[in-house]
Amino acid sequence: MTQTQSAPPATWSPPTPQQTAALQRPGTPAPRGAVAQWFEGTPGRMRAFLVLAAAISVVFGLCAAQGFNQSDGALQRAEANAAQLVRIQAIHTNLVSANADATNAFLVGGLEPAQQRQHFVDSMASAARLVAEAASAQPADRDALGQLNTTLVTYQGLIEQARANNRQGLPIGSQYLRDANATLQNDSLPLVKALVAANEKRVDTEFGGVGDGFWWVFVGGVLALFILIVTLRWLARRTHRYLNIPILAGAIVVALTMLIGTFALFAASGKATDTREGDYASTLALSRARIAAYDARSNESLTLIARGSGDAYNKAYDESAKVVEDQLRKISGSSEGAGLWALYQQSHADIRDQDVEKGNWDLAVKIATGNASATEKNSVEAFDAFDKATAKELENTSSGVSGELKDARNGLPPIGWLGLPIGILVALLMAWGMSQRLGEYR
């Protein structure tokens, strides 16, 4: 994500021989007089105006280039950071989903359902891949991701130890599982949350920066136009010729560049705002809803594992479920998520009813683990339906974000690299126009 720098403002006009002389021989008394002489009288003023007008033209060119590069860069970075944010949230989702599998598998003991085991393996594999991708996409995240990787190695190790012991029917397996869960909750997820927060902030900064380019073009343009008009007016008064065509042409070029530029930047910033409030907001909300949903699912299993002393987990479930509902409400446009989540909530209510009210822990576990002998609608299927539908929606909104931001960038006129040439062109027009008048004094 490097930004193309505009060329340094080096060569707007060659230094005059006098200046060079002054620089070369600082000790001699004469040169100062020579420079002063050069700016003396009406031709001197003309030269002074020429220098000022030419300088401001180049500065305007640079401002326009800067403004466009800034907005263009901000759009590009907003897209890159939004992609990184989606990546980090995908890591988060994969981790909580793997953990939900692991805790749910605990309820069935050493004989894990093959499908669930596969889902766990797939989730951990995608998380590992995404960590590597994210580290190369954003150097600033590298340290945190490195730490995250360390905790994930520990987590996975503990899970495998838990499985090995469970498979042998040793109760210590459950302790390893608890430790694995604690590692994920206390070591891994705080890192992921820090990464999410940092990237959200970066996206916000860049979205906010898209509009800044407008001011460069606008202020640069107004300033340049002011100086050019003052120059024109002064010339008109002093020389009694109302219009100097080249200088007027220069002023028109500046005005047009400014108009087109500000309009384009204004439009781009509007598009960015639309994306931010539309697809980007939906992406955020969907990601958060999915993460909270997996958390809730883990807590449902943990409540059952705790066998009646799981009040804390059940409270955590309720909190997560509320987050899911709140986030789903923020999604613009239609979403199947809310309806499917309500269905899952019903199976959850069944589980709680069996466990707490009827004291039938075994049936509650059967519903929660999708055991075929439970006649109630099982929560595994209900959750899968929610998971699949929201995953699809998330894919649509996140590709929407990058598509829209790309469109906004492609819609920008090429002032980013034309800015300086335009500035130089206007400066040359100034020199041409002024030299016509200066010639009359020779």
The nearest distance, CB 208 to other proteins, in angstroms, is 11
Question: Contact with other proteins (CB under 8 A): which of 43, 110, 246, 400?
Answer: 110
Interaction of residue 194 with other proteins, rule CB under 8 A: yes
137 vs 225 by CB, closer to other proteins: 137
Taking the least distance from each CB to other proteins, the nearer of 257 and 303 is 303
> How much is the CA Rg of the chain, to the nearest whole Å?
33
Measured at the CA of 132, the angle between CA 130 and CA 136, to 5 degrees, comes to: 115
How far apart CA 207 and CA 360 sit, in angstroms, is 53
- Is 330:273 a contact under the CB 8 Å cutoff? no
212 is a site residue for other proteins (CB under 8 A): yes
Residue nearer to other proteins on the CB measure, 162 or 340: 162
CB of 59 to other proteins, least distance (A): 6
Contact status: 144 vs other proteins (CB under 8 A): yes
Q: How far is the CB of 384 from other proteins (least distance, A)?
A: 23
**Nearest-approach distance from CB 14 to other proteins, in angstroms:** 12
Regarding 64 and contact with other proteins (CB under 8 A), the answer is no
Which of 174, 273, 345, 399 is close enough to bind other proteins by CB under 8 A? 174
109 interacts with other proteins by CB under 8 A: yes
Among residues 42, 150, 186, 435, the one that binds other proteins under rule CB under 8 A? 186
Residue in 68, 120, 155, 176 binding other proteins, rule: CB under 8 A: 176
Which range in 7-15, 294-302, 393-401, 406-414 contacts other proteins by CB under 8 A?
A: 7-15
Structure token pair of residue 392: 């699809």
CB atoms closer than 10 angstroms to residue 339: 12
Window of 38-46, 163-171, 259-267, 326-334 that interacts with other proteins by CB under 8 A: 163-171
Per CB under 8 A, the list member of 31, 77, 268, 431 interacting with other proteins is: 77
- Where would I find the H helices in 375-414? 379-410
Would you count residue 141 as binding other proteins (CB under 8 A)? yes
- Please state the closest distance from residue 417 (CB atom) to other proteins, in A: 15
Stretch that binds other proteins, among 192-200, 241-249, 319-327, 401-409 (CB under 8 A): 192-200
- Residue 172 vs 229, nearer CB to other proteins: 172
Q: Does 165 bind other proteins (CB under 8 A)?
A: yes
What's the CA gap between 374 and 377, in Å, rounded? 8
Report DSSP letters for 97-156, one per residue: HHHHHHHHHHHHTTS--HHHHHHHHHHHHHHHHHHHHHHHH-GGGHHHHHHHHHHHHHHH
Residues 6+ apart with CB under 8 A from 357: none
Choice from 95, 124, 198, 368 touching other proteins (CB under 8 A):
198
Helices 281-305 and 337-352, packing angle to 10 deg: 10
Nearest approach in angstroms of CB 295 to other proteins is 18
Residue 281 to residues 278, 332, 401, Cα–Cα distance (Å): 6, 8, 9
Kindly report the backbone phi and psi dihedral angles of residue 163, in degrees, each rounded to the nearest multiple of 5, phi listed first: -65, -45
Helix extents (H) in 168-310: 172-183, 189-209, 212-239, 245-275, 281-305
| 5 scored as a contact of other proteins (CB under 8 A) | yes
Q: How far apart, in whole angstroms, are the C-alpha atoms of residue 213 and residue 216?
A: 5
CB–CB of 321/296 below 8 Å? Answer: yes
How far apart, in whole angstroms, are the C-alpha atoms of residue 322 and residue 310? 19
The residue ranges that bind other proteins (CB under 8 A) are 1-3, 5-6, 8-10, 12, 15, 19, 51, 55, 59, 62, 66, 69-70, 73-74, 77, 80, 107-111, 138, 140-144, 147, 165-166, 169-176, 179, 186-187, 190-191, 193-195, 198-199, 202, 209, 212, 305-309, 359, 361-362, 365
